Structure formats: structure tokens, C-alpha cells
Amino acid sequence: MGDHKLIMGKDIYFWNFVVLMIFTIFEVGAVYIELDLMIVWSILIGVGIVKGYGIAAYFMHLRGDPIIYLRTALFPVLFVLLMLWGIGLSNPGAVTGLPEWCTPNWDYAGKR
């Protein structure tokens, strides 16, 4: 901490903060301006990746910390991808077909 070189007199944390703020303006602006669905979608995903990288790499210090922390951070990625694919994008009826014990007294469970 604190041993980063300065860019225009400010450290990397400051510039990371500035980039995050600017990209958030892009993100919100893309929704305020009437754009094509795919363009909005692309902007949201692109901005999300940049912001995620900025926070994880610089604020959470994965860039600069020993590699074991990066490995730890990447460990659940496989499981997350499996969940997004296995639950999120397949298995029809996964939501409405929940057994009754999963939804005690919640009569709205099957309702839209």
C-alpha cells in the first residue's frame, strides 16, 4: 500500500476511482438515452467487466498481492459458471416445479 508510482501527481487508487465514476456515468447514461436493446446490453456487460476489474484488481489489491489470493478468488468461478448454466439457462421447471417443502405457506410461490 502506498508504494505505487504516481500518475499526474495522483496514485493508482485515485485514478481507479475516477475510471469507476466515469464508467458508472456511461452505465446509467446508456439507459437514459433510448438505444437499441443489444447496444444497451453490450454497454452494461462491458462496463460491468471494467468496473469489476477495477475494484478487484486495484481496490481489493489482487494486482500486487501474492498469486495465491488471485487463485482463491478464481476458485469459485467454475462453480458459478456451472450454476449459471445448470440452473440459469437450463432445467425447465426449476422455478415453478419446486417441491412443497421448499415453499411453506407461501401461496405466491407459483404465481407470476
Positions that interact with another protein (CB under 8 A): 1-2, 11, 13-14, 17, 20-21, 24, 27-28, 30-32, 34, 37, 40-41, 44-45, 47-48, 51-52, 55-56, 59-60, 66, 68-69, 71-73, 75-76, 79-80, 83-84, 86-89, 91, 94-95, 104-105, 108, 111-112
User: In the complex, what is the shortest distance from the CB of residue 56 to another protein, in angstroms, rounded to a whole number?
Assistant: 6
Of 59, 30, 34, nearest to 46 (Cα)? 30
User: In the complex, what is the shortest distance from the CB of residue 20 to another protein, in angstroms, rounded to a whole number?
Assistant: 5
Sign for the CA dihedral angle at 13, 19, 24, 27 comes to negative
In a 10 Å sphere around its CB, with 0-12 CB exposed, 13-18 middle and 19+ buried, how is residue 93 labelled? exposed
User: In the complex, what is the shortest distance from the CB of residue 109 to another protein, in angstroms, rounded to a whole number?
Assistant: 8
**Cα–Cα dist 39/45, whole Å:** 10
